[in-house]
Structure 1
Amino acid sequence: MSKRVFIDGEAGTTGLQIVERLRRLDGVVVQSLDLHARKDNAARRAMMASVDLVVLCLPDEAAREAADMVEGLGSAAPRLLDASSAHRVANGWVYGFAEMVPGQAGAIAQAARVSNPGCYATGAVALLRPLVDAGLVPADHPLTINAVSGYSGGGKALIADHERDGGPAFGLYGLSLNHKHIPEIERHGSLARRPIFVPSVGHFRQGMLVSVPLHLDALPGRPTAREIGCALVGHYEGAAQVRVRMTQVEQRLYVEAAAGSDVMELFVFENEAASQVVLVARLDNLGKGAAGAAVQNIGLMLGLGVTAWAAERVPA
């Protein structure tokens, strides 16, 4: 019997991407409201009560209200996946990064409420959590995280700005050092010290690079680049949607290579003489950074097994 999924906010960028992916899958029926009913709370509530899973693709405050609406359904409440940032560090919600720690995928599969990770946080947590857990990077180590994203994750105004003639080439933002992804990077990266996070946006639609520079001789035990890389390889062994590239051949990384993929690649680049490395995550901000992760979580929550399909989208 097919599972029924309602995407509350399906007309947004992430919602449209999720719908596109789900409609290619057997065993899923995407339920939609007519355009005029999408802001009718009675119609939304009735739809929520009729499906197996609700996916929230809404602004944070609207997502909180929708979650309360689902909670109010009591025994008729469906399971819930929130793609906003409203519940990523909230009690009672399971963080939807399936590869984060052993057992996380199982926790997602059993959870009533799952928060889909942020795009930047996905890259940062993927790089840092295994190293913190392995004791190679102390939880209170001073860290700087730099990232550049395609403009498609920035909302309607930013998309329009970049798609007009003469749109901006590149820009830093979040310069108050208070980006909304920092709390989830701290919590799920298992960090005891707030990192400096500097995001930026480039004049390309999709793709993302997240980088973390490290002075190896400033870390306890002075780990080598190989030890760092082996810790990542060991952690993600067998993961279909996270791949570690242990190579020194590439001296440039092009963000466009991630576009259209639901797989995240992790790299370790080294200057051995200077005892320095830079860790890099390359992903599609709309793939593993948003809709791809959401479909992976939907598959886990509904027992659909869609990870293999998502992995096939990696560019050659």
Structure 2
Amino acid sequence: MSTPVVFIDGDQGTTGLQIHDRLRNRTDIRLFTLAAAERKDPLRRAEAINACDIAILCLPDAAAREAVSAIVNPEVRVIDASSAHRTRPDWTYGFPEMTPGQTGQTGQIANASRVTNPGCYPTGAVGLLRPLVQAGLLPDDYPVSIHAVSGYSGRGRAGVEEHEGPGAVSAPAYQIYGLELAHKHTPEIQQHAGLAQRPAFVPAYGAFRQGIVLTVPLALRLLPAGVDGATLHACLARHYAGATHVSVLPLHESSALKQLDPQVLNGTNDMHLGVFHDLQHEHVLLSAVFDNLGKGASGAAVQNLDLMLTRQS
């Protein structure tokens, strides 16, 4: 069988550059990108996407939809890193650990022709909430609030250039945004976490390049009788027991932590989940730490690509 051709459309953006860097030394694929003079030529882009085996789209939403609409070759498979298709039922959600086993999300991704990469924040939120909702430990109508801080690369190329390019300015120490409470990731979180009600999502940027800490506070009095921090932790630990890239901190380790560092997993495709509980006041804090450019973007895309290549071969 010939070596699969992987075409990256939009390889000059933050996610595209990271994906290219992760794939450039691979010998099991032929990596293809367009020359600078061809990147905005719709005919050349259409030719390229129809000539590849797997296309990875690192484009704005409208451009990603346009790229998909240009596909006439039924053999072309797609990984879309934009948010254009994340709530579409005809696209496979590219979070392999969401449902475990070969009959779960991993198998679905491996056999899919259209895979939508999760958003960075939803990776953490869905990773924490969905197992608990499915197990009946967190009611699907619980008034969920999600707080997250990301490095400024979460703004994409514009954020990196503003703080690292010519004429760079220092990033503010901390800035909350999305104050209209209408962040585009919220419907994705609600759908894939299995929530009946829209969660309140409050994102922020910190004065660092990359990395995320996402937290979800819970009040035990609003959960089913008998559910406590240990119950929630055991559920998450069971769900991710066989996962390579998602792990749950043991309770004794999380109880010893005094702070969470958003940058601790930078450069990896890993995500660490934690459960912190205050027995006296019956409060629990769920946490997710990961790299917004790793498990939150390019690392996840490469993980999905590897799964899709298992069918390709």
Question: TM-score category by the smaller chain?
Answer: over 0.9
Alignment correspondent of 1:260: 267
Mapped partners of 2:25, 2:161: distance in 1: 29
The answer to whether the 8 Å contact 2:263/2:290 transfers is no
Cα offset, 1:277, TM superposition: 0.9
Distance 1:10 1:157 in 2: 15
Q: Deviations over 1:193-215 (max 9, x none)?
A: 10000000001001001100001
One-letter amino acid of the structure 2 residue matched with residue 227 of structure 1? T
Equivalent residues in 2 for 1:102-113, closer than 5 Å: 102=100, 103-113=104-114
Name 1:146's counterpart in structure 2: 147
Q: Does 1:190 align with 2:190?
A: no
State whether residues 122 and 188 of structure 2, in contact with CA within 8 Å, keep that contact through their aligned partners in structure 1: yes
Q: Tell me how far apart the structure 2 counterparts of residues 46 and 157 of structure 1 sit (CA, whole Å).
A: 29
SS of alignment partner, residue 66 of structure 1: helix
Most deviating of 215-224 and 197-206: 215-224
1:222 to partner: Cα distance: 3.8
Instruction: Tell me the C-alpha RMSD between the 2 structures.
Output: 1.4
Q: Does 1:281 align with 2:279?
A: no
Q: Which moved more, 1:20-29 or 1:86-95?
A: 20-29
Matched ranges for 1:90-105 at <5 A: 90-102=88-100, 103-105=104-106
Q: Which residue of 2 aligns with 1:250?
A: 257
3-state SS of 1:122 partner:
helix
Q: Say if 2:148 and 2:202, in contact at 8 Å, map to a contact too.
A: yes
SS of structure 1 residue aligned to 2:235: helix
In structure 2, list runs of 5 or more residues that go unmatched.
none
Give the share of equivalent positions with the same residue, in percent.
Answer: 50
Which sits farther off after the overlay, 224-233 or 39-48?
39-48
Structure 1 segments unaligned to the other structure (5+ residues): 306-316
Q: Matches of 2:95 and 2:207 in 1, distance apart?
A: 28
Change (3 A) 1:6 1:22: same
CA contact (8 A) 2:269 2:291 kept: yes
> CA deviation digits over 1:272-310, x for unaligned, max 9?
1111110000000000000000000000111189xxxxx
CA deviation map 1:210-241 (0-9, x unaligned): 10000112212241111100100000011001
> Per-residue CA shift, 1:42-94, capped at 9, x if unaligned?
11111112211001100001111111112xx143x410110000000013100
Partner of 2:34: 33
Report the equivalent of 1:54.
55
| Separation of aligned partners in 1, 2:82 and 2:171 | 27
| Residue identity in the other structure for 1:139 | D
- Looking at structure 2, the residues matched to 153 and 69 of structure 1 have their Cα atoms a distance apart, in angstroms, of 28
Query: Which structure 2 residues correspond to residues 1-316 of structure 1 after superposition, within 5 A?
Result: 1-70=2-71, 73-75=72-74, 77-102=75-100, 103-163=104-164, 164-246=168-250, 247=253, 248-303=255-310
1:82 aligned partner, one-letter code = D
Using a 3 Å threshold, how does the CA distance of structure 1 residues 135 and 16 change in structure 2: closer, same or farther? same
Amino acid at match of 1:37: E
1:139 CA drift (Å): 0.6
> For the Cα contact (< 8 Å) 1:161–1:168, is it kept in 2?
no
Once residues 24 and 171 of structure 1 are traced to their aligned partners in structure 2, the CA distance between those partners, rounded to angstroms, is 37
Give the drift of 1:160. Answer: 3.2
What displacement does 1:113 show?
A: 0.3
SS of the residue corresponding to residue 69 of structure 2 reads helix
8 Å Cα contact 2:110/2:311 also seen in 1: no
Cα displacement string for residues 134-167 of structure 1 (whole angstroms, at most 9, x for unaligned residues)? 0000111101000000011202333333332433
Distance 1:79 1:294, change over 3 A: same
